[in-house]
Chain A
Amino acid sequence: MSAPGGGLIGSPAPRRKNRELLTGEGTYVADIRLEGQVYARVVRSPSAHARLLGVDTSEALRVGGVVAVITADDIDDIRIPIRLPFAESPEANAVLQAPLAADVVRYVGEPVAVVVADDPYVAEDAAELVSIDLDELEPVLDPANSTESSQPLVHESFGSNTIGRLAYRYGDIDAAFARADVVVRRRLRVHRLAAAPMETRGLAADYDPGSGVLTVWGGAKVKHFTRALLSRVLGLELTDVRVIEVEVGGGFGTRGEPYPEDILIPLLARRLERPVQWIEDRWEHMVATNHAREQEHDFELAAGADGRMLGFRVRGWCDHGAYVRTQGLLPVVLPMVHLPGPYEWPAFSMDLDAVLTNRTPVGTYRGPGMTEATFVRERMVDILAAELEMEPADLRRRNLIPAESMPFSFMPGPGSGAVMPIMYQGGDFVTAFDQMLDGAGYDRMRVEQRQARADGQHAGVGIAAYIEFAAVGPFEEVEVIGGAGNVVVRAGVGSLGQGVETALAQIAAELLDVPLSGVTVEFHDTAEVPQGFGSFASRSTVLAGNAIAAAVDEMKAKAAPLLGCGPGDVEFRDGTATAPGDRSVGLGDIGPTRGRFEKEGLTASFGGAVCSVSVNPADGRARVDRFALAHDVGRAVNPRLLRGQLAGAAAQGIGGALFEEVAYDEHGQPLSVTFADYMMPTAAELPDVEVTIIEHGSGSNPLGIKGGGEAGMVGSLGAVANGVADAVGDGAEVLTSSVSSARLWHALHRPRRA
């Protein structure tokens, strides 16, 4: 293939659709109005754990305008499957969720019935009249002791609240601890968070009995998987299911996975032969859509007196909530592969349990697993630094995997289970780490910290370094169709507002030498885009971008005979394929061309965050005064969009550290179901996020791209917690990822440990 350089790849082109979206002209799923449309309202469990003795729909059915009310009795006994083969296990498959609860409800918010009416007001009124007869059971609420025998079972038939234990052994861990001069041990907790995109979920579905085609609007992220699932559970031909993506107001990993409603609404549309729309409200969103992050880790870190980190042992409990959903065991798999991070450990030993509780199921949220693991490890590194009285940046630098050791792997040793091996293809972590510190002005931050302390303020600086695994395969396929003066790219990824269509258009425009405005990227409709894996794991630009490159190579191969030259002699110039001697052929004459990019494994990239924090001990308030991050994206296709992605993710992360928490009471009732209680940060609480983009290239794909959509999140919880810990010094120990003012005040005013 040609070696693309300069030009459009790497240019800060404005995001497509900015104008439509900012002027209110975008079409979101709630904007869809179809002839004869009816409205669904989901009736949800008010209890965290109870036997479901009966559901009485008779009163609701008597309400004028009600079209249908369904319960589990009215649908097939199905389970929503795990979407990713590597996140499956027989145990996980035993606790999948049915679209409607049949015998037991296992979390507040679990769907029990659906009311459909010809008016959304009526649907809400009638939904209140569905009477649910419950026999209350004790809920399981604490992941770390969910496995104790005194605890009730979330799934009685499964017989345990542990649905998997992952073991990973590397090196001689006993020897590492035996020769350690220092061992630090802590129990660290990551609190439960929700992605909470500004647009809640929603669906519209329409079944045309004439053609037999079911059309579903509102699915994004994994359209082709959703299509296959609907085809299977509804007994329709794959080609008779169309999933269409409309504008999306934020995904962050949670939106767009197939949830119970993604089965129920299409099923109702087909059964009623009327278009059905369902729009999730915020209360529903906070109980129905995947939560994330909650886990606890007992972590022991062994080190030499010189600061060489010799090994770690970790025993952890990763909450999956009441059911395993489409992302399977990722809530335990991803923390595990990210716990070692960028350091050259001689040995480690990890045992992580996947556990169940009677709360909303857990899935992936931007920077999944890696954000949690980075908090745990980086907090422990700072605790070690304090113990050794070493400068935290120096301690990290001393232990980073050196560039000459690349590629590097921690191959699982004896005693490991079936785990994904941890491998880093390349990178220069030490240089990148120093680029991050330089970009942040780390030395100046420390000087300012000393000045602030001299003035009696509680000022801290926090660092977190991480590895992000992203850009997961297995493949992405695109079609490139050239015409006179324009090019259409059809790709099976999704737009969640991240600007992927802009980045893909830049790649196609550069490789084909056409103006950016001449490239249209189509990804909205499964009827037009036959295959695709979706948008998650910071994969879209990497996978689809390289598929475009493959399609362009294929176009050269197809143009060569037309031009009477070899493929290597074909060059694209100004919208035509040219050969030496001024021969040329229009892109439209080459015909549609497919390109496929297959990718094994995950691409590791290095990054980190540095922040300065001030804490007021009188009221417990922590402020992040500065936040700087660095991330190796291999190659920035669009630095403007990338900065936006990185800064936005960092803002979410800072909010997660300072304000946001999904809380439950002792009965398993959710407490954070509004934006008054689930406190997202506003601009007033956030610093400017300073971004350093590192372009170390990637050998794993021809364009040299790595993931970038999530990375701003990864170091956030760890860096903020370390900054807060540094600010309060010996005054309090920071052992949870939430540093809310109340938590911090209590930590500061707790009777001191001996």
Chain B
Amino acid sequence: MKPPPFAYAAAGTLDEAVALLDEAGEDAKLLAGGQSLLPLLAFRLARPSHLIDIGGVEGLDILEEQDGSLCVGALVRHATLERADLSGGWQALREAASLIGHLPIRVRGTFGGSLSHADPAGELGVVAAAFDAEIVLRSLRGVRTVPARDFFLAPLTTAADPDEVLVEARFPTPGTGFRSVFEEFSPRVGDFAYASVAAGCRLATDGLARDVRIALGSVGPTPVRARDAEQALSGSFLDDTAIVECARLAAETCHPDAGDWHADGTYRKALVSHLVERALRRLGAGP
């Protein structure tokens, strides 16, 4: 048995979870699917005083459109998201979910857990960044909403306070004709990606790309939007020249620094360019 000692409490409702978390203090951690937290505990890299288990909390597995947004509840499992009937605009979310780990991990791992863990290689954070998702946090102090761009602060660090429970994320519904895709490079199926890309756009009737969104993962401390690349592509055709230029700009945007021993920064930047190109070609090829 590996983890250091901790106290454990299971919450039955969201109110209870919020109260338990508040009471346990700032060294407590929420436990849901356990797919990131349990390995950290096994290595004793995380030493929470308390684990508040929200796995049994009702109503946190919502997955539906409400008021112009797709609401994804914290307890939606990756496997559920992967198989969800999401229309073309949300395809990147499904594709991203399908690339997380292996099936047993996706069956247990949760949407909220992935965002909260804030691993720079986490696929769902990249999609959240691309779609300007709003992340809903709740504590005894109330409810607040944080845009994705402000949510991810650093590796394994988010804007959520220690007493806040991530309840759901809201993905604003894009305009008609918007499509999105997700691409990543991992050495083996299911590995942490060396680089990932969520990309989306709407091809207007004139054939020009609008509402271009490109976000990158695994190439910096947090997911990063490639805004220069988005702007360069906006209003142009998805032809070879534009795609290659956009991919180049996206690679310039990111700063993977030294990377790690598996994949250094230079290689990761090259992968970004390759993946953006691949993603845009898919968008250009139509549904």
Spell out A's residues near B (CB within 8 Å).
Answer: 120-121, 124-125, 128, 281, 283, 618-621, 658-659, 663, 665, 671, 674, 676-677, 679, 681-682, 684-685, 740-742, 745-746, 749
Contacts and interface: CB of A to CB of B under 8 A. Distances in A.
A717 B188 CA distance: 18
A125 B267 CA distance: 41
A66 to B, nearest CB: 15
A124 B1 contact: yes
Given A679-B187, A679-B191, A684-B188, A121 B267 contact: no
B44 A121 contact: no
Contact of B263 (A658, A681, A742): A742
A212 to B, nearest CB: 33
Interface residues of B, number: 24
Given A128-B44, A618-B274, A685 B189 contact: yes
B189 A121 contact: no
B59 interface: no
The secondary-structure label for the interface of chain B is: loop
Contacts of A684: 188-189
Contacts of A749: 270
A124 B4 CA distance: 8
B4 A663 contact: no
Nearest to B273: A618
B279 interface: no
B4 A659 contact: no
Given A671-B261, A685-B188, A741-B185, 6 more contacts: A124-B2, A125-B4, A619-B270, A621-B185, A676-B192, A682-B189
B141 interface: no
Interface string B1-17: 11011000000000000
A121 B261 CA distance: 33
Contacts of A125: 4-5
A671 B263 CA distance: 13
A654 to B, nearest CB: 12
B188 A746 contact: no
Contacts of A658: 187
A281 B267 CA distance: 33
29 contacts: A121-B1, A121-B5, A125-B4, A128-B4, A618-B270, A618-B274, A619-B185, A619-B271, A621-B187, A659-B187, A665-B261, A671-B261, A674-B43, A676-B192, A679-B188, A679-B191, A682-B189, A682-B190, A685-B188, A685-B189, A740-B262, A741-B263, A742-B194, A742-B263, A742-B264, A742-B267, A745-B267, A746-B267, A749-B270
A670 to B, nearest CB: 11
A659 B43 contact: no
Given A677-B262, A682-B189, A745 B270 contact: yes
A746 B194 CA distance: 14
B267 A681 contact: no
B261 A681 contact: no
The 9 closest A-B pairs by CB, nearest first: A684-B189, A618-B274, A121-B1, A742-B263, A742-B267, A671-B261, A663-B261, A619-B185, A745-B267
Interface in B182-199: 185, 187-192, 194
Contacts of B192: 676
A659 B186 CA distance: 11
A682 B188 contact: yes
B187 A741 contact: yes
B118 to A, nearest CB: 17
A128 B189 CA distance: 35
Nearest to A119: B1
A742 B186 CA distance: 11
A617 to B, nearest CB: 10
Contacts of B185: 619, 621, 741
A121 B44 CA distance: 12
B191 A676 contact: yes
A676 B121 CA distance: 13
A682 B2 CA distance: 26
Contacts of A681: 188
A3 to B, nearest CB: 49
A524 to B, nearest CB: 28
Nearest to B271: A619
